[in-house]
A and B are shown apart, each in its own frame.
Chain A
Amino acid sequence: MKHFRRPTILIGGGIVAAWVLVALFAPLLAPFDPLKSLTPLAPPGTPAPGGGTFWLGADLLGRDILSRLIYGARPVVALSTLATLTAYAVGVSAGLLAGYYGRWIDTVLSFLANVILSFPVLVLYIVVIVALGPSPINVVIAVTFASAPAVFRIVRTIAADLKQRDFIAAAVIQGESAWRILFIEILPNATGPLTVDFCLRLGYTTIIIGALGFLGLGLPPPAPDWGGMVNEGRALAFAFPHLVIFPCLAISSLVLGLSLLADGLNEARDAQARGS
């Protein structure tokens, strides 16, 4: 455990945990109703009518930016986690099958993965969202579609390597069923690299959800959405930078936290493997 007590993990994990708590307790933390128009374009620190302060200012329609950021954390945290998990469910299952069985299963699945991976990721998201329409479920579908192939590749390689080991042969000789060999014998041995990748991929997904919001393909307005907030404030960004800066900081801090966590976990794994 001593390897996991390193600054990158503590800081990264702290940032991520803070955002998760913010998302969970948004109604308790937000000083204002995120949808209520109060004072349009109020600069940060302005007192609000009827008491309270716009600590981060108010947006074009007079809504409190801090409250919108706090509520905006909910779809980002929930959607990016859910989307990454479904991408993992698909990618891991397909990767285990292809890596373990090889032959035509591997050929077909690897071909599909390569086809999907050959498109620029953002184009892929836009195509899926435009085809299905913007909604939380469709964001999850789009992320799964675009991320699963990368997860597939990692798992496939690990499974193809592990299946050569004698402990897999022992399981076969004992008459273990195929699914037990895949999920109980092989998968636990892949958790190290997968945990690191999971954190990184959560970060990518956060960026993507922000980008979709920015392009107007995320959550339909007026729901608070970090990417959408940047887009709304874009035209007035020079006169009222607080419209754009704070949602951008929110996105980057969460992504930074996840990347630090992934880095830290990776270093910890290396240190553990060296056995020092």
Chain B
Amino acid sequence: MSAEPPILSVKSLSVALPAGADRPFAIHDISLDLRPAEILCIVGESGSGKSILSSTLMGALPRGLAIHGGDLTLGDIDLTAQSERAWRDIRGRRIAMIPQEPMAALNPSAKVGRQIEEVFAIHGHLTPQARRAEALRLIQDMHLPDPERIAASYPHQLSGGQCQRICIAMALALNPDVLIADEPTTALDVTSQAQVLKLICELRDVHRQAVLFITHDLGVVADIADRIAVMEKGRLVEIGAAEDILKRPLQPYTKALIAAVPSFEPKPRAPAPNTKPGHCLEVEGLSKTYGRTRALKPASLTVERATTLAVVGESGSGKSTLARLLVRLIEPSDGSALVNGHDLARLRGLALRQARRRIQMIFQDPFGALNPRRSVGATIARAAELAGCTRQEAQACAKALLERVGLSAAAYARRPAAFSGGQRQRVGIARALAMRPDVLIADESVSALDVSVQAQVLNLLRELQLELGLTIVFITHDLRVAAQISDRVAVMRSGEIVELADTASVILAPQHPYTRALIAAAPGRGAI
């Protein structure tokens, strides 16, 4: 296959950043080829320049950025020398893109069938009847059930995975030479992700489609890549066949990336020393209903002191509702939640405010979780003050905690905007710890982070658990993460806990069919 000439060829491509940025080039001296019937995965963490590369290939560089040098050829055309008018003809027809957020990429007020037909209309193809037939054929190709009904649906009536398949259908409508997929499954649940990945592989195998697949998830890469290009800080670190890169990486950066991927093997976990045995968190029949909808069916579970319970589920499974009920951000409809014997679900007013300290939360979005107008030190110190410290003690405590979570005490006076996502998440952990809680709820607390940062934060949480005897409830959609960090796993589906057992038995001998489906859908099993 390697004898085939490349369809897309990038030669020492550089894109300059405006003066004053943290580095001179967004991408520097990138060379790669893409051949027909090949999936080339571009892997990198945030800031690696992988998205700039895809915008360059689509002729859609953000304002202020420009190609600085290098060649870009697609078949017989030189992409660096095209006018905006010429680009409009190239996009869609020769090179098409699958977006990251399918829901945001579709027009919410038009039926999806019409939106696919529109692609033909814009490029002046076919009669209206033929467009409609083509759209239906494409929907069918995407293995969507009942194409007529899907075509007549609005995006909000479809699931995220179905929307993404509609976006893929739109991208394929004009039979482009190259398909660029920029993090196409990041916003999807694991089971939908597995279906979309299968579809993309089928495009390669059946339609001989060339795909440039951009992702941060090495598990996904292991499942679909023919070749892998690793990017770091705008440079190409390593490129080669998938087997070679994954099994025999040459560069230290690639090795570190692969090592940071959570493996599916449950880790043996030593119990935390010096902790009283017994239950720290006891939940009995806790439930939440909104009108007729049951967001959480009566749930009961107990967590031993100084252990971690992972709550795993897809979107809409009720895992976030459970987390928010536990910290009483929403009012439970029924049931009780005892933290060291104090029923948080029943307290009111001042008694509730005083008892809240016992159970704290680390949030998903590190950008929204800190008050942008307050220095991080003041934020942590305020938490310490609420836990009963005087002002001086609180400031000293905040500085100590900043150092404990791996930031310097000099960070005290800086505002959140000065920190990266991972650093902000550490500040969030420090703020929660300043309350001296018994239980820590982590709601998808690492899912917004790069793998290497993710591993650091997970290690930090484990150290703190051993040091302070913290009980942790870890809410996640990622079974691989759960396997790494938990003693026990609860699997949730449509507001119900379907399986609750030791981590090893859930991963290695799942009882419930849904758990088995989740494990089967997890990307990169055993490949890394």
Contacts and interface: CB of A to CB of B under 8 A. Distances in A.
A195 to B, nearest CB: 13
Contact of B329 (A173, A175, A176): A173
A169 interface: yes
Given A166-B365, A169-B361, A172-B329, A189 B356 contact: no
Interface string A172-212: 11111100000001001101000000000000000000000
Interface residues of A, number: 15
Interface in B372-389: 372-374, 382-383, 386
A2 interface: no
A167 B329 contact: no
Interface string B344-369: 00000000111011011101110011
A189 B415 CA distance: 13
A185 B371 contact: yes
Instruction: Please classify the interface of chain A as helix (H, G, I), strand (E, B), loop, or mixed, using the class held by over half of its residues.
Output: helix
B165 interface: no
Interface residues of B, number: 27
Given A169-B329, A169-B361, A175 B354 contact: yes
A173 B354 contact: no
Contact of B368 (A167, A172, A173, A188): A167
A1 interface: no
Interface string B89-115: 000000000000000000000000000
Nearest to A275: B417
Contacts of B353: 175-177
Given A166-B363, A166-B365, A173 B372 contact: no
A239 interface: no
Contacts of B364: 166
Contacts, number: 53
Contacts of B373: 188-189, 191
A121 to B, nearest CB: 32
B368 A174 contact: no
Interface string B404-448: 000000000000000000000000100100010000000000000
A176 B372 CA distance: 17
Interface centre among B361, B371, B431, by most chain A C-beta atoms within 10 angstroms, is B371
B483 interface: no
B386 A165 contact: no
A188 B374 CA distance: 9
A96 B274 CA distance: 47
A56 to B, nearest CB: 47
B327 interface: yes
A175 B356 contact: yes
Q: Report, nearest first, the 3 A-B pairs whose CB atoms are least far apart.
A: A175-B353, A166-B369, A166-B363
28 contacts: A165-B369, A166-B364, A166-B368, A166-B369, A167-B371, A169-B329, A169-B361, A170-B361, A170-B363, A170-B431, A172-B329, A173-B327, A173-B329, A173-B356, A173-B360, A174-B356, A174-B357, A174-B360, A174-B382, A174-B383, A174-B435, A175-B352, A175-B353, A175-B354, A188-B373, A188-B374, A189-B372, A191-B373
